[in-house]
């Protein structure tokens, strides 16, 4: 199987499986309740392995696939740069450290979870996690400014899921069908010119 094509837009060297493992280990150990903002920071800002637009596109694909988005992202980035070895390195790097941390925290929560101080701390961590997700969403939205055509799709998806409580799979399949149809129509119109 030939190596995957890497775009010229990546600003740094192609990562090795060891670099992917180390990078995703840092990501996995950086966040509680959501590491997607940390993954974006690693991939786009710190290492420059992906551009902001490449990250948005890849994350969209990973959200469409079953399973945790950030694990899908680690696998997709690993495959892109190093094939199956990169996929294994990214996924293990992301999950190995947090697995042991969760094991220890689970034992501690079983012993001390009912204490008011522990409950207050957990509520604070929840708010921090929500803030990180909102900040990442804003950053991703700023990268869409040159592609205004996508904003109505995002608005319809938001209203469908958050306001009308439509099932996520139906919104995703409907959105995929609509965007594929629109892309096909735009290409056919461009071919006629």
Tens digit of pLDDT at every position of the chain (193 positions):
444 444 444 446 789 999 999 999 999 998 766 788 889 999 999 999 999 889 988 998 898 888 889 999 999 999 999 999 999 999 999 999 989 988 998 999 999 988 999 899 888 888 887 887 888 778 777 776 666 777 788 888 889 999 999 998 889 888 888 888 888 888 888 888 8
Q: What is the pLDDT of residue 146?
A: 62
Predicted TM-score (pTM) of the model is 0.62
pLDDT of 8 reads 47
Q: Would you kindly state where each structural domain of the chain is located, as residue ranges?
A: 1-112
CA-based nearest residue to 42, from 23, 25, 21, 15: 23
Residues 6 or more apart in contact with residue 22 via CB below 8 angstroms: 93
| Per-residue b or e along 59-87, where b marks 16 or more CB atoms closer than 10 Å to that residue's CB | beebeeeeeebbbbbbbbbbbbbbeebbb
pLDDT for 145 equals 62
- Tell me the backbone φ, ψ of residue 66, rounded to 5 degrees: -70, 150
Q: Closest by alpha carbon to 58, among 77, 86, 45?
A: 77
Q: What are the tokens at 157?
A: 């998806």
- For 21-40, b where at least 16 C-beta lie within 10 A, e where not — what string? bebbbbbbbbbeebbbbbbb
Residue-level pLDDT at 4: 43
């Amino acid at each position: 199987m030939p190596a995957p094509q890497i775009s010229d837009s990546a600003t740094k060297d192609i990562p090795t499986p060891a670099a992917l493992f180390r990078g995703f280990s840092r990501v996995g150990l950086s966040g509680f309740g959501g590491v997607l903002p940390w993954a974006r920071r690693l991939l786009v800002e710190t290492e420059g392995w992906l551009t902001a637009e490449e990250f948005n596109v890849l994350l969209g694909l990973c959200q469409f696939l079953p399973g945790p988005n950030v694990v899908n992202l680690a696998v997709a980035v690993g495959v892109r740069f190093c094939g199956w070895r990169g996929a294994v390195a990214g996924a293990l790097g992301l999950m190995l450290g947090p697995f042991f941390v969760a094991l220890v925290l689970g034992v501690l929560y079983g012993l001390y979870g009912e204490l008011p101080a522990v409950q207050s701390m957990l509520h604070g961590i929840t708010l921090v996690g929500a803030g990180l997700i909102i900040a990442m969403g804003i950053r991703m939205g700023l990268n869409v400014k040159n592609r205004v055509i996508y904003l109505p799709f995002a608005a319809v998806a938001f209203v469908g899921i958050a306001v009308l409580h439509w099932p996520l799979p139906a919104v995703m399949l409907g959105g995929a069908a609509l965007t594929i149809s629109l892309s096909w129509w735009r290409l056919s119109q461009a071919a006629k010119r």
